[in-house]
Chain A
Amino acid sequence: MGPLIPNGIIGGGWDFVIAILIGVAFGFILEASGFSSSRNLAGVFYGYNFVVLRVFFTALIVAMVGLMYFDYVGWLNLSQIFVLPTFLTPMIVGGVIMGVGFVIGGFCPGTSFTGIAIGKLDAVFFAIGLYLGIFGFSLAFPLFEDFFTSGDMGNVTLMDITGIPASYFAVAFTVMALAAFWGTMFIEKRVRKNMKQYKF
């Protein structure tokens, strides 16, 4: 059956309507979980608020396990979905830069939208920063054009690289996530001792 739109089960005209609806759900979940506030987001790096870890990792393992079951019952054909292409070195570099930007800026693009939605000025400035950053990237592109496309490994999945079946990865991530959840519960109790407020 799935994915529905690429298989023509839902007409292409609905594409953007569905996009908006999905976005609304996404934004609601993010904001309701507290991702619209930069101090909550930064908390994961300082041990006083692990909401990022909890939401992110839970979503990850639920999605992984869920997709496997969907594939098994035939509702979804995993070979037809978009797999992010891998450009080894640029992606590592990009991730590092994003990590620094995350800690300094306190947001990521999706969460900054929810921040803007409820009136957080720092989210607005973050989004402006995003704009400038991408614009600057485009202007400077000729400098690192070759680097940008280096390390192209194609749309490769974890299974392709290691030959280990997907379910093993699902279990591995689940175990890691669950361990992290229980572990951070203890860390929080200790870090928060001197903080009056840690949900912002």
Chain B
Amino acid sequence: MNRNYIFLTILMLVLAVGTLFLTGSDEPKQIAPEELLQEIIQPTRYVSTDQVAKMIIQGDPSLLMVDVRPAADYEEYALPGSLNIPLEELLNDGNLGYFGVPGVKVVFISNDDIAADQTWVLTKRLGIDGTYVMKGGLNCWMQTIIDPTQPDADAPSVDHELYAFRKGAQIYFTGAESATPEGDNVEVQVRRREKTSVAAGGC
């Protein structure tokens, strides 16, 4: 009897002391490199400036634009309704909560699309879905929406339709811009990911 108890005592002690060596789950969980590679080589993450413009004009509630440029650039010019999270601050407390909300499409925006792409890769590595990159970034935005080039007269009608859309968008954005108040950005409708569901309990 006593020998069994001694054995059990030691076993329990070993198990308990073992917990001291369990590393905490402080590191964010990351997806495997193979998965990441698969995701990177697919071009499905890109959305065009036209698509973004359309979603803004239509007031698509699932759109969340995240401007990853430095705050100074954001102050100077930013898309209406976009949120500023500079790339360096991406992993700060709480910022990751904006991503991965079911039903929300997060579109990363930068001047060209390099910083936005980097942000995308980072969030993808953390296993976050629902993220996109605006192809060409704000530079492309300027060239297509703010200052669209008129297609030649003999271009296919699709091009003309696109141009017409872009002209309309140009009016919307340049006209709307002057209406927005200086200084403060447009009220951003953001939905943070809810704190993970906590079970209810009691006595």
Contact = CB atoms under 8 A, between A and B. Distances in A.
Interface stretch (A42-50, A135-143, A165-173): A165-173
Contacts of A79: 196
**Chain B: interface residue count, which band?**
20 to 34
- Name, among B16, B17, B22, B201, the residue most crowded by chain A CB atoms within 10 Å (CB to CB): B16
A69 B12 contact: no
Contacts of B18: 65, 69
Interface string B180-203: 000000000000000011111100
Nearest to B197: A6
Given A69-B19, A82-B201, A174 B12 contact: yes
Interface string B1-40: 0000100010011011111101111000000000000000
Contact of A80 (B5, B19, B24, B197): B197
A3 B197 CA distance: 10
Contact of A82 (B5, B23, B199): B199
B22 A5 contact: no
Contacts of A5: 199
A81 interface: yes
A71 B197 CA distance: 16
Interface of B: 5, 9, 12-13, 15-20, 22-25, 196-201
15 contacts: A6-B199, A61-B12, A65-B15, A65-B16, A68-B22, A72-B22, A80-B199, A82-B201, A167-B19, A167-B20, A174-B12, A174-B16, A175-B13, A175-B16, A182-B9
